[in-house]
Chains A and B, each alone.
Chain A
Amino acid sequence: MSVLSLRQAPPERLDFLNIAPATLAALSPAEAERLPIGTTRRGLVLGDCFQVSLDGGDSLTIEGGHERLDRVGGALAAGTIRVVGDVGQRLGEGMAGGTLTVTGTAGPFAGTGATGGTITIAGDAGDYAGGAVYAAKAGLDGATLVIKGTAGRHLGDRMRRGLILVERAGDYAGSRMIAGTIAAGSVGDDAGYGMRRGTLLLGSHGRLTPTFVETGEHDLVFLRLLARSLKTLSPRHAEIAAGPLRRYSGDLATIAKGEIWAAA
């Protein structure tokens, strides 16, 4: 297992887009230490901030995260990255596959544009987790994003594919969703604002968006399949899917093919 150990708090935001097991496997430790990661005119390289220990394998541990580490795991297509600590914005941006784990908290836009693999955040996530960055086509785009703590506002904004599992989220969860599934223990107000398609499964929620209409209680095969697929990731969320649910359809301000399943 390759290990990068943070020496001290970084003096500026660092860009980890190109730091992945596959990239490091092709490099000698001296070459890896010269990889540019700085974002200001200081011109910081990996060796300036991290102690580098490489074994050429497909798993990388970043010992000592920091909220200034941006785009961690963005280039991951296979293998594992584990961050012991926090990360900054755009965790796993555009990630294609593999496993990305953060033991601390993540900044905004975690999992944005990620097309495959699994991202797990043990702590909290910032605003727009699984959401789209400025002018991007979509937010989460096929990957699985698991947030064990609390996510900020706009969870899954403009997400297009994939699954988000979250304990708690703020207002506007699933805003402008294009498609995909969000399962949440609880969310704040106005979930699903501007939602076109997609599914929200909610244990509890704040004020409902007024442009959703209740369509009654249903017993659908889809819900049993959803419960089964959630079971391996989170039995608690699977229980919500298996329990009695009320269905709301919306957002009526758009094409209204989205649905909210709220625990009855």
Chain B
Amino acid sequence: MTAWVKGDATDAEGAIAAAAALLAAAHAPVFAGLNADVAAIRAAYRLAGTIGASLDTQGAAGTYADLGALSRVGAMTSTPAEVQGRADVVLVVGAKAGTSTLASALRGSKPVRGLAAGADRQVLAVAGASAQALASDLALLRAHAKGHLADATPLNEIARALYAARYGAVLYDPAELGELGVETVQGLVRDVNEITRCFALSLGGPDQDRSVVQVAAWTTGQAPRTGFGRKVPEHDPWRFDAARQVSTGEADAALWLSTLPAARPDWLGALPSIAIVGTGSPEAAPGTAEVVIAVGVPGASAGGVLWNEGRAALTYRPGTGGGASAADVLARIEHHFAGKDS
């Protein structure tokens, strides 16, 4: 394990003790990123519960766009493998979904299972210059699908195609659409389901938010942005936004967990901080934070359970071995607080 404290290389025990001391001195620490395997995310929630920290994730904007819409209108959703196997009409919403690998795979293939097996696949698109423009286009599309508007526009054609499909799918990136846009997509999909099958498919980001949502749910019963300042888990997506807490001076220490590659948050240098990062990543450097601990990369140098985007499930990815685990580092930090009433 490579580690640095205040820029100087040190051993694992020294870095873990420094991290524990940094957290012990803080009143309102924040844990951010949570871009790691399930064991590390679990250890982060345990440590946060012990010391009264709050947690936030790398992809919170997209995660909460989906969860907010889910809590209000529900969701009819599918998996990438199902859409590839069965969909004869796919609507790609927004620029990010348009350039996704799944969209290009769908353009170059045909459905092979179910009612539409062997049919040609129609891939349609709605692109907007901004989240606001996309939301407007989606509202117009849903108004056409409902029959409230019926002018001869491309949106009307898309609405008709979704109704004529045997298995329709709507691909989108939740961070690009925002909660209003996602809610309109889900409403559209629900409307089309009164006539034929149609599913929304939210594309995950390059983070482990899908894992965090599940760990947070089984650990706290809540979504990811949870704080333990009052010993019980409190969920508040506004209050526990890590960037907001740092910019207003509410947070007085930070732990950034990202054993998978990601750029560090720009606010990390603004307060006493710990970075637990993957060995070999550009962030595994002495200047990243006050305490930097480099550990194994799950699915590469260390084994770990990660979100499997294709199967939409948590699956174990073996590693080559040799890297220390982030979960172990977090547990050893927590060990420093054992028996102390924080």
User: Which A residues form the contact surface with B (CB < 8 A)?
Assistant: 11-13, 38-42, 68, 70, 89, 108-109, 133-135, 158, 171-172, 175-176, 189-190, 193-194, 209-211, 251-254, 256
Contacts and interface: CB of A to CB of B under 8 A. Distances in A.
B184 interface: yes
B284 to A, nearest CB: 31
Interface of B: 27-28, 51-52, 64, 67-68, 71-72, 132, 135-136, 138-140, 142-143, 146, 148-149, 180, 183-184, 187, 223, 227, 229-231, 235-239, 250, 342
Given A211-B140, A253-B140, 5 more contacts: A89-B238, A133-B238, A134-B223, A134-B236, A193-B180
Contact of A134 (B135, B142, B235): B235
A190 B132 contact: yes
Given A13-B250, A135-B71, A193-B139, A254 B180 contact: no
Contacts of A40: 27-28, 52, 229-230
A153 to B, nearest CB: 10
Nearest to B223: A134
A41 B342 contact: yes
A156 to B, nearest CB: 14
B238 A108 contact: yes
A253 B180 contact: no
- Most chain B beta-carbon contacts within 10 A, residue among A11, A40, A42, A256: A40
A175 B180 contact: yes
Contacts of B71: 134-135
Contacts of B146: 252-253
Contacts of A189: 132
B139 A194 contact: yes
A158 B250 contact: no
A253 B250 contact: no
Contact of B28 (A12, A171, A210): A12
11 contacts: A13-B239, A13-B250, A39-B227, A40-B229, A41-B229, A41-B231, A68-B250, A89-B239, A134-B68, A210-B140, A253-B146
Contacts of A211: 136, 139-140, 142-143, 148-149
B139 A210 contact: yes
Nearest to A134: B237
A130 to B, nearest CB: 15
A194 B184 contact: yes
Contacts of A13: 239, 250
Contacts of B72: 135, 158, 176
Given A89-B239, A135-B71, A251 B52 contact: no
Given A176-B180, A193-B139, A256-B148, A39 B229 contact: yes
B234 to A, nearest CB: 8
A54 to B, nearest CB: 25
A133 B140 CA distance: 26
Given A89-B238, A211-B140, A253-B142, A176 B229 contact: no
B322 to A, nearest CB: 37
A102 to B, nearest CB: 18
Nearest to A127: B238
B86 to A, nearest CB: 27
Nearest to A137: B72
A193 B250 CA distance: 34
Q: Taking each of A38, A70, A134, which has the highest tally of chain B beta carbons within 10 Å of its own beta carbon? A: A134
A12 B68 CA distance: 27
Q: Which 9 A-B pairs have the closest CB atoms?
A: A41-B52, A252-B143, A252-B148, A135-B71, A253-B142, A40-B229, A253-B139, A40-B28, A211-B139
A201 B235 CA distance: 35
A68 B28 CA distance: 14
Contacts of B132: 171, 189-190
B139 A209 contact: yes
A251 B237 contact: no
A254 B71 CA distance: 18
Contacts of A210: 136, 139-140
Contacts of A253: 138-140, 142-143, 146, 148, 184, 187
A180 B168 CA distance: 36
Nearest to A108: B238
A124 to B, nearest CB: 17
B342 A193 contact: no
A133 to B, nearest CB: 8
Contacts of B184: 194, 253
Contacts of B229: 12, 38-41
B68 to A, nearest CB: 6
A12 B180 contact: no
Contacts of A135: 68, 71-72
Residue picked from A42, A190, A253, most chain B C-beta under 10 Å: A253
A194 B138 CA distance: 11
Nearest to A189: B132
